[in-house]
Chain A
Amino acid sequence: MSNVKQIVMPGDPVEVQNLKPRNGVYKCGDNKYCSQFFGILQESEQFVDVVPFTGKYVPRRNDKVIGKVIEIGPSMWIVDISSTYTTLLHMNDAPWRVTSGELKRYMNVGDYVYAKVLSINEIKESWITMKDVGLKKLEGGTLVSIPAPKVPRIIGKGGSMVNMIKDSTHTRIMVGQNGVIWLDGAPENVIVAIGAIRKVEEEAHTVGLTDRVKKYLEDKKGEIVGNSE
């Protein structure tokens, strides 16, 4: 799987052969498929996808996301998840016993929440929930935003990239599928971790990235607090 991938643009023909065309491609003729995006052509065992280099987050059911409360209604919070659309968190999907009109007490405008996508309808209205393990209102820490298509790079195969960053910098990191990332730890460590994240963001499309991030973290060892030397 180490072949150099092909860059495609909107309208470029995509060779499908015996694979199934999936994300980022559309039917542009009889048995012909074309790319929707400026991005990378990706072939797996079953599917052909085009992964855009950047773009807004598109919510999927069960995705864990980090969002910011931007408005409060009588029975729900309106949350910005850096997508084309805002999403709704109903008071019944919060972990507290909330009474109508009292939502501000638990979460106010400007608060951040780690939640899960519950459902989406055809006109892209969506709902999120906090009722699952690990979901909560975020306190403290800091936030960093990257384009959603680059999240898989930050996470890495089986979590390898984000775990490497976490371990080297002794920080807690939660990655939302929508590209919002929460970090917590000693300030110096968080700075190094953010540096690593930005590096991945800028070089997401390149070969040999894992090694370069590893080197970056090693070079920064001296700036990391809590390293038993």
Chain B
Amino acid sequence: MRLLGTASDKKLFDENGLRLDGRSPGDLRPIRIETDVLNRADGSAFIEWGGNKIQVAVYGPREAYPRHMQDINQAFVRARYNMAAFSVDERKRPGPDRRSMEISKVISEALQAAVMVELFPRAQIDVFIEVLQADAGTRIAGLTASAVALAAAGVPMRDLVVGCTAGKVDGKVVLDLSKEEDNFGQADLPVAIMPKSGKVVLMQMDGDLSIDEFNEATSMIFKATERINQIQRDALKKNYANTAQDWGE
């Protein structure tokens, strides 16, 4: 979300070339993921990414309703991205708005690429993403946690999905935009991939980027996703410290 045209004397870099929060252009904010945090849901994950706090719950696969929505060939993934009223500075009126609907759509599509939906004709998989505190990059953080929740729910997938944002601030390409950088910067580029193959399943951009800047930004993103994917893996493994011996017949 960009606040255009606010006469901003806000300098987003200090004299050492560091960003407002002290990061270098290529630094990620701290990320922490936890799984199995909810009881009812089939799978769940909680992510903290910078100041973002996002809860994800997965239900399914389950038979799709209403009946006429069923696809006899495969399941569909329905992600619902929602921002809690208290998640942003100025209280947000509860309920889906156009932005949430678009974000829900692109997240659903990204996850649909990874989940083996062809194994579940007539079914749907619900992914609920609740942003409890927003700090820029919520759709990517939500998507990154959703992949973990789906895996934790035992949903068969081709690969996990992992993402990161990049952007342009004061003419410089930077990784993982903060809130101020998202508001006062010049470009925003969220990207998500399936890490084993590098296939891009989510990509949006707004702002102004030359083609060289775009390549620089995507290169930073691809490198960062390696680290973030490792955080996803560690979160999944954490609850399974002693691996099993005989599983029993």
Q: Which residues of A contact B (CB under 8 A)?
A: 1-2, 4-7, 9-11, 24, 26, 28, 34, 36-40, 42, 51-56, 84-86, 122-124, 147, 149, 152-153, 155-158, 161, 204-208
Q: How large is the interface on B (under 10, 10 to 19, 20 to 34, 35 or more residues)?
A: 35 or more
**B157 x A207 contact (CB < 8 A):** no
Enumerate the 6 nearest inter-chain pairs by beta-carbon distance, A residue then B residue, closest first.
Answer: A55-B154, A11-B159, A10-B157, A36-B156, A38-B151, A52-B154
Q: Are B121 and A123 in contact (CB under 8 A)?
A: yes
Q: Do residues A84 and B123 form an inter-chain contact, with CB atoms below 8 A?
A: yes
Does any Cβ of A come within 8 Å of B152's Cβ?
yes
Bound-state CA distance A56–B120 (Å) is: 11
Instruction: Judge whether B6 is part of the interface by a CB distance below 8 angstroms.
Output: no
Contact A56 B243 (CB under 8 A): no
Collect the chain A residues with CB atoms within 8 Å of residue B121's CB. 122-124
User: Whole-angstrom distance between the alpha carbons of A119 and B120 in the complex?
Assistant: 17
Are the CB atoms of B123 and A85 closer together than 8 Å? yes
B194 on interface, CB distance cutoff 8 Å? yes
CA distance A152 to B248 in the complex (A): 6
Q: Which residue of A lies closest to B156 (CB)?
A: A36
Interchain CB contact under 8 A, A9 and B160: yes
Q: What are 5 A-B pairs at a CB distance below 8 A?
A: A4-B245, A53-B154, A122-B121, A123-B122, A157-B246
What CA separation (Å) do A38 and B158 show in the bound complex?
11
Asked if residues B63 and A55 are in contact (CB atoms below 8 Å), the reply is no
B247 adjacent to A152 (CB under 8 Å): yes
Interface core residue of B60, B153, B157, B247 (most chain A CB under 10 Å): B247
A212 to chain B, nearest CB (A): 11
- State in angstroms the CA–CA spacing of A46 and B194 once bound together: 31
User: Is the CB of B61 closer than 8 A to any CB of chain A?
Assistant: yes
Binary interface profile of B, 143-184, with partner A (CB < 8 Å = 1, else 0)?
000000001111111111000000000000000000000000
